[in-house]
Structure 1
Amino acid sequence: MSRALSRSLPLLLVLLASPARGQVWAPSATFPDRVQALSVDPSDPARIYAGTKVGVYATSDGGATWNPASSGLTQPDVRALAIDPVAPSVLYAGTKNGVFKSVDRAASWMPTAPVLDPDVRSLAVSPAGGWVLAGTKKGVSRSTDGGASWVPANAGLGNLEVRSLAADPNNPATVYAGTKQGVFKSVDGGLSWTAASSGLGGREVRALAVGPLDPSLVV
């Protein structure tokens, strides 16, 4: 295939799914650009949202079919997605131009108030409701009113770029941040942070997850 022809064709990327807990994988969908974020509805595991460089896609049948879900999303480059565990119809999308919010399972989106830095890399929502965190190139922004307003939440963290956020599903006050200089931990819902990188050697951390059955397991 010629270089000119290859540039004229859309980029199609395949999302894989495994109904067998990772033992077997099969193609789930083809997207026009890479998938950068996934979020599963805690009240309906068959409902999944995918954030891509060209917007949000949604499935209600476990990935058998996907549909665009970007109405109102004026910045399509979605780097992070988070669902409110208390109200699963509410979603947040982190983009290159701030945070967007949906209150109708991604049928429509609206921008929230401006965050500390518009280039949002990660999101976390309290498992008990009450706060939303947005990780940016300049640290963390925190909202307690569903994105109507945000305040910096960098005590102990500084202005480190936050690449990932993970809330402890069993402890609403505990949340972890992955940065370019390791992991930080908060035990007050993101108001303050302490380093938690023993053994990491200051490595950049781009993804984090907390064990739902064993919150002492953080990977």
Structure 2
Amino acid sequence: MKKGLMASIITLSLFVISACSNDTDQIDSFMHIHGLEYSQHDESIFLATHMGLINLNEDSWELVGDPEHQHDFMGYTIIDEDLMISSGHPGARSDYVDPLGVIISHDSGETWEPIALYEEVDFHLLHVNEGNQEFMYGIDVYNSNLYRSNNGGYEWEMVDTTGLPGPVASVLSLTSHPQSPDYLLAGTETGLYESSDGGQTWALKENNLSASSFQTLDSDSEDLVAYLFGEKEGLYLSEDFGETWASLNFKVDDDYIMYISNHPTDDEMLVLGSMKQSIYETKDFGKTWEVLAEEGSRKN
């Protein structure tokens, strides 16, 4: 297994970014990918960053919302239509205090409000189950705890976990089975772990294989895309939720894919975000790829 992935992520998270001007909503670069999702309405992409939420489309990159709602988003996810959920830290012009806990937006990221665990948690990983979006899991890096919600993020319980190889906050990736929300997979630096009881107890599933990111593809299947490292390297598809894997013939050098999103209506479209701030998109499920951003800068 490759070592040092978590250390690399922490190092990147501690970089101090240069000041950004809010005089215009249009930008050509960003720092720190903290999540990316396809829009529910078109082929544009929402990118959660240290400086706010950015909408990427063919014509422009634009910051979303007024400055007081341009937060440092963590664990960002689109739930449905205009509904988004996230965690993180308040922006420089926000009246909110740190950490934000769990926040939601009902208007595609224009405005945000806390709904749970305000001033208590910072979910760097916030996973929403594909089959039942009432079920969510969050990993709080402040106190290294796993949380679970059964009602769409409005109420949470802390899960007492055993069996992981290190602190909960060291988990690199997390996903749940679309038809069985209690069954989880977690990627760690030392292997792939599984839990069948909602994260209470964990067991090693793969000793020589792990994942830096996961994405379930739909609510009715066991299809799972992951960026693997270890005895397999690169982007892979599993049709049985991690039991077997088929390569999608995509690999980044000296980098890792940390975020994967599939388009809500086009099964052929995937977008990937890397640890080094590059974004890749395919419109034919991996046959060809386009680089949308390279190390945080727009590719023309």
Decide: shared fold, TM above 0.5: yes
**Contact persistence 2:215–2:224 (CA under 8 A):** yes
Distance in structure 1 (CA, Å) of the matches to 2:118 and 2:63: 32
Distance in structure 1 (CA, Å) of the matches to 2:225 and 2:236: 6
- Gaps of at least 5 residues in structure 1 are 1-5, 7-12
Distance in structure 2 (CA, Å) of the matches to 1:204 and 1:195: 18
**Contact persistence 1:169–1:210 (CA under 8 A):** no
2:153 maps to 106
1:175 maps to 224
Q: What CA RMSD, in Å, does the superposition of the two structures yield over aligned residues?
A: 3.5
Superposed displacement of residue 189, structure 1? 1.6
Q: Aligned AA for 2:215?
A: A
2:267 maps to 214
- Gaps of at least 5 residues in structure 2 are 1-18, 20-49, 90-98, 269-283, 290-300
1:158 maps to 208
Superposed displacement of residue 175, structure 1? 1.5
Q: What do the CA deviations read for 1:4-57 (whole angstroms, capped 9, x no partner)?
A: xx9xxxxxx542354x966553432222xx323211224xx2221113263332
**Contact persistence 2:75–2:127 (CA under 8 A):** no
2:134 maps to 89
Distance in structure 2 (CA, Å) of the matches to 1:135 and 1:187: 18
1:141 maps to 193
Distance in structure 2 (CA, Å) of the matches to 1:113 and 1:172: 29
Q: Aligned AA for 2:108?
A: G
**Contact persistence 1:121–1:164 (CA under 8 A):** yes
* Aligned partner of 1:127 among 178, 182, 188: 178
Is the strand fraction higher in 1 or 2? 2
1:9 maps to none
Q: What do the CA deviations read for 1:145-173 (whole angstroms, capped 9, x no partner)?
A: 3334333322xx6254x321111216632
When residues 149 and 199 of structure 1 are mapped into structure 2, their CA distance, relative to the original with a 3 A threshold, is: closer
Aligned residues: 199
Q: Aligned AA for 1:167?
A: T
Larger relative contact order (Cα-Cα within 8 Å, sequence gap ≥ 6) = 2
**Contact persistence 2:147–2:159 (CA under 8 A):** yes
**Contact persistence 1:165–1:176 (CA under 8 A):** yes
User: Please, what TM-score do these two structures have when normalized by structure 2?
Assistant: 0.54
* Aligned partner of 1:59 among 102, 105, 130: 105
